[in-house]
Amino acid sequence: MRKNVVLFSMFFILTSIVVISPHMSFPLFRINASHSHLSNDSFIPIDFIAINGNEDFENQADLLDWSGSGTAEDPFVIENYNITNNRHLFRVVDTDYHFIFQNCWLDGLDNSWCGLYLAHVSNAIVRNVTIKNAAIGMHMLELNDSIISNCDIYDNSAMGIALELTCVGNKIMNNTIYANREGGIWLDWNNTENVIQENEIYENWIVGIELLEDSHDNIILGNTLSKNHGHGIKALGNGSKIHHNIIAKNTASGIFVYGEGYDIHHNIIWENNRMGIWGTFLAQDNSIYNNTILNCSSYAVRLDGKTSENTVRFNDFIDNAEKYQCIDDGTENIFDWNYYNPWNHTDADMDFVIDFAYLIEGSKNNTDIHPTLHPNTDLPDWYAFEINQPAGIPEPLALMIPAIGTGVIVIMMVLSYVWWRNKPKE
């Protein structure tokens, strides 16, 4: 008996620990960022750079003494320029030469033209470039097999980075993109096989990252999207993978899904002003799994009327605002093996699955028939929550109690009447 008391006490202490205040600042991304940029004092001033084709590239390399020959082993290197003007600042079209554009300062002055414009270009590397006060910070059309990394792109009147017209196989990595007035990164017109990885994207208007209808098979990985004035990610294309991102404090939803065939997994979606994940219109055949959705103002997951055949499995939904954390008005959507907190529960057979299905709000009367007792993923250690406590009466049974009570009273009245009619006469 004493051993049982000790074991129960240890279990109670371990399951009652609250690690940290839920109101502390999120440590992995900039909430109130202090921006530091390269000084433009050390750069070579030049009005603009415009290159049209391979021959023109060779001529300008000779004229401006750029190193390299344009091969993969010996790319042209264009560096250390201050380009401040109200026109396209760095423009390259119609070349397959390998080149590196690096360590430059681009200021568009009045937001009229693009900071960097690349069209029909392959094999470019753009790195450590600051672009501000342009229309679109970086505008690419038919850009292939290129890398954009470690750039600061901010205060532009349209998008920070826009890829259009069949951009294939590019990597956009480790950039800081903020305060652009039509979004952070924008992919359109058959953009495919691009990787957007480990960028900081915050305080942009409209959206953090937008994948438009014709984009497909891209990878959105390891980015931090915070405090954007709209959705964190808007997914209108199809077949892309969105995973291991941190999506927090955006003024709309964390991920807005309009397309089909997305893999959305292992994202931390925290304290967005609407839904964690919102599937609408023709969102179908999307897989939503192993995401952690915390403290969003509305539903953790919302699937609207025309959505169909989406699967929502193995996610953790904690402290989202609605009574029921998910809503489904679609067709043949599946919720299964998710963790819901807060929710009082029972697990009488101790199989780590709650004994009663979790009710999914909405017109389809959907349920999660395997709600889990414990979280499915390792929750971030900075977020505090209290584990669900066993309930005396499970919620579905509690909802039936008034009807059961009324039935018992009626039965007792009938039995009393029968007894009275048939009692022995004295």
How many CB atoms sit inside 10 A of residue 195's CB?
17
Of 11-15, 309-313, 393-397, 412-416, the poorest mean pLDDT is in: 11-15
Nearest CA-CA partner of 231 in 212, 199, 213, 206: 206
Average pLDDT over residues 339-351: 88
Range in 90-99, 102-111, 350-359 the model is least confident about: 350-359
CA-to-CA separations, 8 to 1, 241, 424, in angstroms, rounded = 11, 44, 56
Tens-digit pLDDT profile for residues 403-412: 666 666 767 7
Flag whether pLDDT at 26 surpasses 50: no
Contacts of 403 (CB under 8 A, 6+ apart): none
CB 61 within 8 A of CB 417: no
Q: What percent of the chain has pLDDT over 70?
A: 83
For 116-228, strand residue ranges (E) read 116-122, 124-132, 138-144, 147-149, 152-154, 161-164, 171-173, 176-178, 185-187, 195-197, 200-202, 205-211, 219-221, 224-226
What are the phi and psi torsion angles at 310 (to 5°)? -90, 145
Q: Within 13 Å and on the Cβ side, how many CA atoms surround 87?
A: 8
Token pair 């959105």 in the structure block, residue: 220
HSE, side-chain direction, 13 A CA sphere, residue 55: 0
pLDDT tens-digit readout, 156-192: 999 999 999 999 999 999 999 999 999 999 999 899 9
222 close to 244: Cβ distance less than 8 angstroms: yes
Q: What does the buried/exposed string (b/e) look like for 340-370 if buried means 16 or more CB atoms within 10 Å of the residue's CB?
A: bbebebbbeeeeeebebebbbbbebebbbeb
Please report, rounded to a whole number, the percentage of residues in the chain having pLDDT higher than 90: 76
Residue 201 has pLDDT above 60, yes or no: yes
Bridge partner residues of 316 (DSSP): 292, 339
Q: Which residues pair with 219 in a beta bridge?
A: 195, 241
What is the rounded distance in angstroms from the CA atom of residue 315 to the CA atom of residue 277?
11
At residue 43, does pLDDT exceed 90?
yes
Mapped onto helix, strand or coil, the DSSP state of residue 42 is helix
pLDDT at 2 over 90: no
Region 93-105 average pLDDT: 98
Q: Is the Cβ–Cβ distance between 49 and 83 less than 8 Å?
A: yes
- The pLDDT, as a whole number, for residue 42 is 81
* Closest among 199, 172, 230 to 29, alpha carbons compared: 199
Residue pair 298/327 in contact (Cβ under 8 Å)? The answer is no
Element housing 401 (H / E): helix 395-422
Which of 23-37, 189-203, 214-228, 346-360 is predicted with the least confidence, judged by mean pLDDT? 23-37
- Of 370, 377, 398, nearest in space to 318 by CA: 377
What integer pLDDT is reported at residue 207 of this predicted model? 98
Residue-averaged pLDDT of the chain: 88
pLDDT score, position 425: 56
Residues 202/30, Cβ–Cβ less than 8 Å:
yes
- From CA 83, how far away is CA 263, in angstroms rounded? 41
Question: Are 279 and 301 spatial neighbours (Cβ–Cβ below 8 Å)?
Answer: yes
